[in-house]
A and B are shown apart, each in its own frame.
Chain A
Amino acid sequence: MLMSEHIVPVRVYITIFLVLLVGTALTVMAAFRDFSYRFGNHEVQLNTIIALTIAVTKATFVVLYSMHVRYSSRLVWVIVASALFWMGILFALTFSDYWTRGWLPVGLLTLCYSPRWSVISLTSIRFLQVGQFRRIVAV
């Protein structure tokens, strides 16, 4: 059959449920703090990393115990691993675009319309309105 015939005691499920509740409480508590640190000129924001670490831990508990993967055959483990690998590919493809948006060379039209004259990437041109475009050309 799909799963092995391992009988999991109810106590395990209650424990996992309590672990998930504690994880949720930790996530909420961590979200109400500011974990941003300064190292010289760099400001590091750890809130996202902390929240996602707790979330990955909780998801691991759900997959291992609630989805019975821990008691399943090696084949199920291989399927889970391949699914995670495929998800990693999708993340890599997405972030190869998302992280490198600001790396593009700066042209004349990419001067930003903000009051501070900061610089935007070429990909942001499409967000400029026509009036802003004319203003930049006039400048």
Chain B
Amino acid sequence: MTGMHAVHMIIRRGIVGVSFVLLDRGRYGPEYHSPVEVIGLYWHFVDIVWIFSFPLLYLLGRHFERRIGRGWC
């Protein structure tokens, strides 16, 4: 799951980097900026996934590990 998230991270770094380059070239302005909005939506989608996966994968495990290995299946 973290690997999947890493792939999304790489993708979003890539498209945000490309959008920065295009912004630097003056492609976007007040009339034309919906790619920036869509890229922002993707950025925050990956963001929300991390908001949930960080506590579930990294923080809550220490509360479950004492339940495992108690001898019941």
Contact = CB atoms under 8 A, between A and B. Distances in A.
B35 to A, nearest CB: 10
Contacts, number: 68
Interface residues of A, number: 33
A113 B73 CA distance: 8
B41 interface: yes
Interface residues of B, number: 20
Main secondary structure of the interface of B (DSSP, over half): helix
Contacts of B41: 67
B40 A67 contact: yes
Contact of A51 (B40, B55, B71): B55
Contact of B48 (A31, A63, A113, A116): A63
A58 B54 CA distance: 12
Contacts of A89: none
Interface of B: 34, 37-38, 40-41, 44, 47-48, 51-52, 54-56, 59-60, 62-63, 71-73
